[in-house]
Amino acid sequence: MMNKVFSPSKQITAYALLFAFSLSLIPTSLHAQTLMNNELAITNPSEANQKTTPKRGILMTDFNHPDTINQNESIDKKKVDEDLKRKINQSSQNASLNVIIEPSGDWSDNLNFQLRSKEAVQKKAFRNFNFRSVRMKAKDIEQLADSGEVAYISYDHESKAAGAGHVAKTTGADSIRNLRGDDDDRLDGEGIGIAIVDSGVDRNHQSTKDSNSNSRVVFSRDFTGEGRIDDPFGHGTHVAATAAGGTRVSQGAYQGIATKARIINLRVLNSQGRGTTTALLNSLDWILTNRNNPAYNIRVVNMSLGTSAIESYRFSPLCKAVRRLVDAGIVVVAAAGNAGKDNEGRTLYGLIHSPGNEPTAITVGAANTLGTDNRSDDTIATYSSRGPTRSYWSDALGTKHYDNLMKPDLVAPGNKIISASANQNALVSNNPLLDARVSTHSTKKQMFLSGSSMATPIAAGTAALMLQANPNLTPNIIKTILMYTSQPLRGVNHFEQGSGLINVNGAVRLALMVRQDLSSTTAVGAPLLNGEAPTPNSSFNGNQFLWGQGVVMDHGYMTGSNLIKKYQKVYSLGYALQDGTTETNGVLMSDGVLMSDGVTMGDNILKITGVTMGDGMSFLNCGVLMGDGVLMSDGVLMGDGVLMSDGVLMGDSTLSESVSAQSSRIAVEGEGTETMEITPDTEEPPVN
pLDDT for 380 equals 96
Q: Within 10 Å of residue 448's Cβ, how many Cβ atoms?
A: 26
pTM of the model: 0.75
Q: Are 525 and 588 in contact (CB under 8 A)?
A: no
Residue 649 has pLDDT above 70, yes or no: no
Picking from 152, 35, 33, the residue whose alpha carbon sits closest to that of residue 43 is 33
Q: Within 10 Å of residue 407's Cβ, how many Cβ atoms?
A: 31
| Per-residue pLDDT tens over the stretch 192-239 | 999 999 999 999 999 999 989 999 999 999 999 999 999 999 999 999
Residue 33 has pLDDT above 80, yes or no: no
Residue 41 has pLDDT above 60, yes or no: no
Cα–Cα distance, 496 to 439 (Å, whole number): 36
Cα–Cα distance, 144 to 121 (Å, whole number): 14
Return the higher-pLDDT residue of 18 and 108: 108
Helix (H, G, I), strand (E, B) or coil at 676: coil
| Per-residue pLDDT tens over the stretch 558-601 | 999 999 999 999 999 999 998 887 766 555 566 667 888 888 88
Domains of the chain in start order, with CATH, are 1-76 (no CATH), 82-156 (3.30.70.80), 166-669 (3.40.50.200)
DSSP code of residue 577 = G
Q: Place 176 in a pLDDT band, splitting at 50, 70 and 90.
A: confident
* Burial status of residue 14 (CB atoms within 10 A of its CB: 0-12, 13-18, 19 or more): middle
Q: Place 69 in a pLDDT band, splitting at 50, 70 and 90.
A: very low
> Which backbone phi and psi does 649 adopt, to 5 degrees?
-95, 115
Picking from 150, 159, 145, the residue whose alpha carbon sits closest to that of residue 97 is 159
DSSP string for 262-278: EEEEEE-S-TTS---HH
> Which backbone phi and psi does 220 adopt, to 5 degrees?
-140, 140
Mean pLDDT within 284-300: 96
| 355 cis-preceded (ω within 30 degrees of 0) | yes
Cα–Cα distance, 196 to 267 (Å, whole number): 8
Report CA 507 to chain centroid distance, whole Å: 12
Residue 63 has pLDDT above 80, yes or no: no
Mean pLDDT within 542-565: 93
Q: Which residues contact 4 (CB under 8 A, 6 or more apart)?
A: 14, 56, 57, 58, 81
Picking from 118, 243, 135, the residue whose alpha carbon sits closest to that of residue 189 is 243
Residues in the chain: 688
Return the higher-pLDDT residue of 251 and 53: 251
pLDDT for 87 equals 82
Q: Place 10 in a pLDDT band, splitting at 50, 70 and 90.
A: very low
Residue 451 has pLDDT above 90, yes or no: yes
DSSP code of residue 75 = -
Picking from 336, 286, 365, 331, the residue whose alpha carbon sits closest to that of residue 193 is 331
Cα–Cα distance, 165 to 76 (Å, whole number): 36
Q: Place 661 in a pLDDT band, splitting at 50, 70 and 90.
A: low
| Per-residue pLDDT tens over the stretch 331-350 | 999 999 998 887 778 888 88
Mean pLDDT of the chain: 80
| Per-residue pLDDT tens over the stretch 458-508 | 999 999 999 999 999 999 999 999 999 999 999 999 999 999 999 999 999
Mean pLDDT within 608-629: 77
Sort strands 543-546 and 537-540 into parallel, antiparallel or unpaired.
Answer: antiparallel
Return the higher-pLDDT residue of 28 and 218: 218
pLDDT for 182 equals 61
Q: Are 232 and 451 in contact (CB under 8 A)?
A: no
DSSP code of residue 654 = P
